[in-house]
Amino acid sequence: MSLYSVLAQLLALALAVLGAPLLTGWVNQCRAWLQNKSAPPLLLPYRTLHKLFHKESIVAEHASPLFRATPYLVFGAMVLACGIVPSLSTDLLLAPAADAIALVGLFALARVFMSLAAMDIGTAFGTLGARREMLVGFLAEPALLMVLFTASSLTQSTSLASIVQTIAHQEFAILPSLAVAGVAFTMVSLAENARVPIDNPATHLELTMIHEAMILEYSGRHLALIEWAASLKLFAYSCIGVALFVPWGIATVDDPIGILLAAPSLVIKLIIGGAALALIETLSAKMRIFRVPEFLAGAFLLAVIGILVRFLLKA
């Protein structure tokens, strides 16, 4: 463990925790501009979090300790997920734990606790949202694993740091396997972050909402932590996409100057990625819930095709 790895890890965590709401605000702004609406302030997510943290948390009378602990567990899992993704440098303090399977496990852990907490109160909306969320997760997680396995086939390792370092040091080339996996990853990312066409983060219609249905009973600091965790999840998925498909600019081992250049490089990539996400949402229509399995099955099929192309054609 070197001082450089500790500083790089702390910088990555600080950028994730403080910058995640800003990424959400940027996506919301771009989405409003593309829809010819008045855009909300860029710092609105921070104001929302500040307001919620200063409000009292109202908890149902029969809520179990699981309901109270879930916001902290979900927030911690998303912070750890952002910490093990090599967004700024491959030489991180948590690099030995930065495994593709462990990363998917963190997302699954947060999903399970959110679903259990939603059913804990016993409301119809909470149970409805939990069942839909588990359906999405059951279909999205295998597709995400296949995408990560496609990238890991380049290094014969599931270590995210090794994958990023190998891809970043290769000559620039558009590999068909990674291109197909990139499309699959985009589809999974939309589903996992409750974005259109799977879900609409701005809706409160009981027949269509998934994520919002699970958090209707939360308020105050509990709701603030869940909203912050949702922004962190979007940030984590954005950094995964950057690390796997455009890793150029990420610093390597013992490169202090490189990490100073990696931060603005990551910000530029996130700005472009956030605008692209808003464009995809604007051009897409919200699909019905029974069409979601077809959408995610297509993502899984594309990811499997990426693996087959990699192993059969070495491309």
3-state secondary structure of 104: helix
Residue 226: how many CB atoms within 10 A of its CB?
A: 23
Specify the pLDDT at position 212. Answer: 86
User: Which DSSP symbol is given to 193?
Assistant: T
Q: What is the pLDDT of residue 60?
A: 86
Torsion region of 122: left, alpha or beta (phi above 0 gives left; psi -120 to 50 gives alpha) = left
Rg (CA), the chain: 19
- Residue 145, token pair as written in the block: 């694993």
Mapped onto helix, strand or coil, the DSSP state of residue 129 is: helix
Res. 205: pLDDT tops 70: no
Residue whose pair of structure tokens reads 């499997």 in the numeric block: 304
Instruction: Please give the Cα distance from 179 to 303 (Å, whole number).
Output: 10
- Torsion sign, CA atoms 65, 70, 75, 79: positive
Asked if 161 and 9 touch (Cβ cutoff 8 Å), the reply is no
**pLDDT attached to residue 207:** 65
What is the pTM for the complete model shown? 0.95
> Measuring CA to CA, which residue among 119, 114, 271 is closest to residue 194?
114
| Residue found by looking up tokens 């990426």 in the block | 306
Tokens of residue 45, six digits: 């997510």
What are phi and psi for residue 303, nearest 5 degrees? Answer: -65, -40
Distance, C-alpha 308 to centroid of its chain: 26
Percent over 70 (pLDDT), the chain: 98
pLDDT for 59-77, tens place per residue?
A: 988 899 999 999 999 999 9
Residues 6+ apart with CB under 8 A from 54: none
Q: Indicate the DSSP class of residue 93.
A: T
Give the type of residue at 102.
A
Q: What is residue 201's predicted lDDT score, i.e. its pLDDT?
A: 79
DSSP code of residue 96: G
Q: What is the pLDDT of residues 232-286, one digit of tens each?
A: 999 999 999 999 999 988 987 777 788 888 999 999 999 999 999 999 999 998 8
* pLDDT one-digit tens code per residue, 15-57: 999 999 999 999 999 999 999 999 999 999 999 999 999 999 9
Residues 98 and 160 sit within 8 Å (Cβ to Cβ):
yes
User: How does the average pLDDT of the chain come out, rounded?
Assistant: 92
Note the pLDDT tens digit of each residue in 83-93.
Answer: 999 999 988 88
